[in-house]
Amino acid sequence: MPRWLIAMSVILACLYTQFDATRALGSGKPQDESATLTAIGVTIAQLHSEVSSYERANLAEKLANLIREVNPNKIRDAEIDEISDLLGDSFDPVRMWCAFALGNIGPRALRAIPALQNALKSPIPVTPSFFAQPTMDSSMAIQTALRKIRGGSSGPEP
């Protein structure tokens, strides 16, 4: 994996956390939740069909953002299962953003725990660089998702 991509993933995750804290002070939910729910389904379908790993990573990030905008109870079991399937992606940033997406769903995504645990047992090695340590991979996002789904963390996460 290129070093610049690793660095960008880390930077995006940090910025995403800052964005969440800022947004929490604002109005919260968008006006048209049904449009966002439709966009979630479309984005999941695009993720499953996209060939480019970089585009899949962008779509996975978009998915995590969209999920934050809706009531988790409105996300269908089939969508949770489809996001869980994406934890098997060969590109680690996709796994990271899908884990964040599942964590954003929270306890409603209990059915994703086996897929998250399996992904945690099957890390994709990240080449160390100036910006990233060998442990900076999707495992951090997966562990965060597991805590949020199990109800162990209430703070804002990407």
Q: How confident is the model at residue 14 (pLDDT cuts 50, 70, 90)?
A: low
In tens, the pLDDT along 77-134 reads 999 999 999 999 999 999 999 999 999 999 999 999 999 999 999 877 666 655 455 5
Question: ∠ at Cα 5 (13, 79), nearest 5°?
Answer: 55
Do residues 155 and 31 make contact, with C-beta atoms less than 8 angstroms apart?
no
CA-based torsion, 116, 118, 124, 126: positive or negative? positive
In tens, the pLDDT along 66-82 reads 999 999 999 999 999 99
